[in-house]
A = this chain, B = another copy of it.
Amino acid sequence: MASLHDVAQLAGVSKSTVSRVINDEYGVKKATRIKVMKAVEEVGYVVNQVAKDLKSQRTHLVGVIVPRVSSHATAQGVDGLSKVFDEAQKHVLLASCQQNAQKEIEYIQLFNKKRVEGIVLYATHIDQQLVHAIQQSYAPVILVGQDGSLFNIPSIIHDDLRVGFEAGNRLLNAGCRQIGFIGVADSDVAVDKMRSEGLQQALQMRQAEPLLFHSHGEFTIESGYSQMKQLLERFPQTDGVFCATDRIAIGAINALKDAGITAGKEVKILGVGNDELSAVCAPSLSTFNYAFDKAGESAARVLLELIEGKPQVMSKVVLTFQNIDRETC
C-alpha cells in the first residue's frame, strides 16, 4: 500500500511537500500541488491513520464494553452514544463480552493498549477486581447502568430505588396486598438490589404486608415464566408482582395465563424498561419507561468532557423514568 514516500518519489518532490498537500496547508505552489495530487490519484494513496495517530499521540478512539448488544438497554444505548461520538469525530471500538464478566477487565486493559481516549462500560455488576481495573485505566471510564460513584467512578444510572418505590405504590393503589418481587442475580445492585429495596420501602411506608417473596433468575422471558410458575405454587395468595425487567414480566404473564389467571385482574404485574415487547404482549404490560438511548448519549457526552480535560463536575447522573400504564396494573 502506497505511502507518502511513494507519492513523493512519483511526483518528484519531498515527503514534506506531499504532507502539506494532503493536509491542505498553504504555502505550496499551485503547480506542485497539482503534480502531487496527480501522483496521489495514480498510486491510490490512502493516509495511514495509524502512523498519524502515533505521531500525534491521539487516536480519536473510544471503547465501548457491553455484556451483549442484543438487549433493549444496550442496543438503544449504543445507538445513542454512537450518534454523539460520531458528531464529535470519535470512533467506537466495541467489545461484546457475551456475559463473561472477566472479559470486561481484559477489554479495559486491551483498550488502554490501543490508546483509546475513554471507555464506556455497561456493567451488570461491580466488584473489587473491576473497580481496581477501572482505577488502573489511563483512559477515563464511565459506567452505565450500575452505580460506581462510591468508588469515584462517574456513572450514568437509572433511578432504580425510586422505580421500586413507585412500583410498590402503583401495586398498592391497584389494591394489591400480597406483593412479591422477581429479580435477577443479587450481585446486580441496580436491577436486583435497588429495585427490590425501593419496593420494600414503599410497603413499609404504607404499612402494608411485608414483601411476600424475592426470587432470583435470569434476564429472560423463559426465566420469568419458570419462576412465576414455581412461585404460584408456593404463594397462591399472591396478588401483585413487581418484575425486575419487562422480559421477566412477560414470562410471568404467560405463567399466569397457563394457570388460568389473567394478569391485571386477579394478579397485577409490573415490569421495568418499556421494552417494545411490553406494548405488544397480551395483556399489555404496565411498566416504567427507561430512556436507554438518553443514557447512552449522556454517557458519551460526559466522557467527551473528561477526554477534553474538563474537570469532572458530577459523580453520577441519575436518569428519571415515566410510568407507563397498560393492562396488567
Chain A residues engaging chain B, CB cutoff 8 angstroms: 1, 44, 46-51, 53-54, 59, 64, 68-72, 75-76, 78-79, 82-83, 86, 91-96, 98, 109-110, 112-115, 136, 138, 221, 250, 276-277, 280-282
Q: Is the CB of B82 within 8 A of A115?
A: no
Q: Is the CB of B53 within 8 A of A113?
A: no
Which of B51, B71, B79, B86 makes the CB contact (< 8 A) with A54? B51
30 inter-chain pairs at a CB distance below 8 angstroms, sorted by A residue, are A44-B136, A46-B112, A46-B138, A47-B113, A48-B54, A49-B113, A50-B53, A50-B115, A51-B54, A54-B54, A68-B79, A69-B75, A69-B78, A69-B79, A70-B75, A70-B79, A71-B75, A75-B75, A79-B96, A82-B98, A83-B96, A91-B110, A91-B114, A92-B93, A92-B95, A93-B93, A93-B94, A221-B276, A276-B277, A281-B281
Query: How far, in angstroms, from A119 to B86 measured CA to CA in the complex?
Result: 18
Which of B49, B83, B98, B280 makes the CB contact (< 8 A) with A83? B98
Query: How far, in angstroms, from A241 to B106 measured CA to CA in the complex?
Result: 49
Query: How far, in angstroms, from A203 to B204 measured CA to CA in the complex?
Result: 64
Number of copies: 2
B-chain residues with CB within 8 Å of residue A47 when the two chains form the complex: 113
B-chain residues with CB within 8 Å of residue A96 when the two chains form the complex: 78-79, 82-83, 86, 92
State the Cβ distance, A67 to closest chain B Cβ, in Å: 10
State the Cβ distance, A235 to closest chain B Cβ, in Å: 25
State the Cβ distance, A1 to closest chain B Cβ, in Å: 6
- Given the interface pairs A46-B113, A114-B49, A277-B276, the reply to whether A82 lies near B54 with Cβ below 8 Å is no
Query: How far, in angstroms, from A54 to B70 measured CA to CA in the complex?
Result: 34
Among A1, A50, A83, max chain B CB count under 10 A is at A50
Known contacts A69-B82, A86-B96, A91-B95; 5 additional CB pairs below 8 A are A49-B115, A54-B54, A82-B96, A86-B95, A276-B277
- Given the interface pairs A91-B93, A92-B94, the reply to whether A115 lies near B70 with Cβ below 8 Å is no
Query: How far, in angstroms, from A68 to B75 measured CA to CA in the complex?
Result: 9
